[in-house]
Amino acid sequence: MVKIITELNIHLPKEFVGITENNFWRYLLWQVDRKELTKRIKTRFEEGAFAFSGYDDDHRPKGEVTTPLPIEQELEFAIQTELTTKRPAYSQVNDEFGNYLSFLLEQREKRILRRDVITIDGEPYVSISDLLGKLKSDLKTLLEGREGVSQSLKIVKPAELLAKIPQTVSIVFDRDYSALTDYNGRIYVEAVNLSGEGDKRAKLFKASLLEDSLKTIGVQSKKDLKEVVTLSYPFESADFIHQLEPRTVPSYGGILDAFIHPAPERIAINSKIGDFIKVVMMMSDDGLAETLRNKGLVNEEFVASYKPVRREENVYVRLKGVLERLKRYRADSITPTVEQNIILRPTRY
């Protein structure tokens, strides 16, 4: 019989043991329940708390700020506000830099002369200052207007509430969870804790399912999966489709860092320094070339790729060498992973 409900009870899923029909149902239900907790309680209470702090992307503090949020005598939160730059689309700068290098090479091969490209020993060379200027200019353009704040909410007291993982959290539909009340604050913490534990259990089931599916198709590791594979786990009331799709996740920011990351004040064996910065250091008169070699930060392969040359005030490197290094860093930046989709196909209607 259809009835009107005024609240929704979200239960902590039991621990997943084995690849069973109940566990498939439990996993799929949890994906719905966790979104309800986030949307109706977590996000709403945080909206109220962050508004209390007085900071947002348009009203930024001068530095990191911790704002106490006392709700009742026994319940207190802390709002952490940090200055941040919204995640830029580094892929755009990476693509534009690659296109820029290819364009310079194409122009040279067509014998079209450019001020920023010279020929040395029959090869096109480009100045380090132009390369650094190109990347830094593109990054500056990309980051403009992306300043903002990042905020997080932590419970200060009572400590026992932070450690409590409830079995059930009730969402009351007509309740305003953005109000900074004692009840809302406690329900918020319970919702966060239940959600965290539920996600942990669901993640273990998904990892176990991936292991089982890979074993079924004879693949030892997810990095060895080369094509999309779809498996069916048939049970009495439903078939559960498990689709595995190999993906690659590039780190575009890491590619740019490989060229322009600044040198630390004190150079060590594991210091992270961008290639263009290393070249400038090598060609200086401060003995830094020997330091870089002694620390293992520059080797013969590095020198052979760039073959740096000083002409008056400028340092030039092989254009093809920059393209070769860019290609290598792009390949090295890719992390293989597997996207998993679990699809319900009822066998009875």
Q: Do 159 and 301 reside in the same domain of the chain?
A: no
- According to DSSP, the residues that pair with 119 across neighbouring strands are 124
Domain boundary at 216, 235, 263, which?
216
263 and 208 in a single domain? The answer is no
Considering the domain architecture, whether residues 189 and 328 belong to the same structural domain is answered as no
Residues 317, 251 share a domain = yes
- Between CA 38 and CA 49 the distance in angstroms is 15
The answer to whether residue 2 sits within a structural domain is no
Q: Give the Cα separation of 140 and 47 in Å (integer).
A: 31
Is residue 1 assigned to a domain? no
Statement to judge: residues 27 and 48 lie in one domain: yes
Residue 274: inside a domain, yes or no?
yes
Same domain? For 177 and 300 the reply is: no
Query: How many structural domains does the chain have?
Result: 2
Angstrom distance (rounded) from CA 304 to CA 307? 5
Structure tokens at 319: 């254009």
Q: Give the separation between CA 175 and CA 13, rounded to whole angstroms.
A: 25
Both 303 and 271 in one domain: the answer is yes
d(CA 10, CA 95): 45
- 235/340 same-domain check: yes
Please indicate, yes or no, whether residues 227 and 207 belong to a single structural domain of this protein. Answer: no
Does residue 22 share a domain with residue 81? yes
Tens of pLDDT, residue by residue, the chain (349 residues): 999 999 999 999 999 999 999 999 999 999 999 999 999 999 999 999 999 999 998 898 988 999 999 988 889 999 999 988 766 677 888 888 899 899 988 888 888 777 778 889 889 999 999 999 989 888 887 776 667 899 999 999 898 888 899 999 999 999 999 999 999 999 999 999 999 999 999 999 999 999 999 999 999 888 889 999 999 999 988 999 999 999 988 888 888 899 999 999 888 898 999 999 999 999 987 778 888 998 899 999 999 999 999 988 889 999 999 999 999 999 888 888 999 999 999 886 6
Instruction: Report yes or no on 349 lying in a domain.
Output: no
Examine the domain organization and report whether 61 and 153 are in the same domain: yes
Residue 264 lies in a domain: yes
Its domain, for residue 226, covers 87-145+218-344
Residue 243, domain member (yes or no): yes
Residues 32, 129 within the same domain = no
Q: How far is CA 53 from the centre of its chain?
A: 27
The kind and range of the H/E element at 174 are none
The pTM of this model reads 0.77
